[in-house]
Amino acid sequence: MFVAFDAAAGTCEVGCWLDPAAEGRGLITAACRTVLDWAFTTRGMHRAEWHCRADNARSAAVAERLGMTLEGVRREAWPYDGTRHDTQDWAVLAGEWRGGA
């Protein structure tokens, strides 16, 4: 899904959640390619972001498979269940998008 979609600014953020039983089949990468391709090709967006907890290796792997670049780490930015977690910021620009190859 689009967690954020600012058409005027040309920026959006993609997020996802998969049932554990469906992990490891490439479903999320394929689905995200479809929504990102729609954002860049049909809607003319300029930048798509992906935010994940720094210790979420499966999520970071999806961002990488989508051709995104790790732009930085926001330290202790996400408070959850009594702990503050680092978050990674990934993004891909329209000029870099080739269907997430």
Ligand X SMILES: CC(C)(COP(=O)(O)OP(=O)(O)OC[C@H]1O[C@@H](n2cnc3c(N)ncnc32)[C@H](O)[C@@H]1OP(=O)(O)O)[C@@H](O)C(=O)NCCC(=O)NCCS
Shortest CB 44 distance to ligand X, Å: 25
Q: At what angle do helices 57-65 and 27-37 cross, to 10 degrees?
A: 50
Say which residues have a Cβ less than 8 Å from residue 37's Cβ, sequence separation at least 6. 97, 99, 100
| Contact residue for ligand X among 26, 44, 72, 99 (CB under 6 A) | 26
Decide whether 17 or 80 has the Cβ nearer to ligand X: 17
- Tell me, by CB under 6 A, how many residues bind ligand X: 18
| Contact residue for ligand X among 23, 71, 76, 86 (CB under 6 A) | 23
| Contact residue for ligand X among 8, 17, 82, 101 (CB under 6 A) | 17
Count CA atoms closer than 13 A to 7's CA, side-chain side: 5
The tokens of 69 are what?
Answer: 């670049």
